[in-house]
């Protein structure tokens, strides 16, 4: 028995990537076709470093990263 989901989404896996909903997976499929036709370019969850690692008062402060 599946548990109740607030918005009725069903998790889907496409190309080994897990998506939270069918809509999200369908959008990925369309973007993949556009990328193949060289009409757009995208990457899944790119990582951006907002602040690099540094030392402060002898302690190492970890970098701050943002994953889109």
The angle at the Cα of 56, spanning 52 to 60, to the nearest 5 degrees, equals 60
Asked if 51 and 64 touch (Cβ cutoff 8 Å), the reply is yes
Query: Is residue 5 pLDDT above 80, yes or no?
Result: no
pLDDT (0 to 100) of residue 6: 78
Domains of the chain, by residue range, sit at: 12-67
- Whether this model's pTM surpasses 0.75: no
pLDDT one-digit tens code per residue, 46-61: 999 999 999 999 999 9
């Amino acid at each position: 028995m599946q548990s109740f989901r607030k918005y009725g989404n069903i998790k889907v896996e496409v190309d080994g990537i897990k998506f939270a909903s069918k809509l999200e997976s369908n959008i990925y499929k369309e973007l993949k076709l556009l990328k193949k036709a060289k009409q757009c370019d995208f990457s899944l969850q790119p990582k951006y470093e907002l602040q690099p690692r540094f030392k402060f008062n002898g302690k190492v402060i970890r970098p701050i990263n943002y994953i889109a």
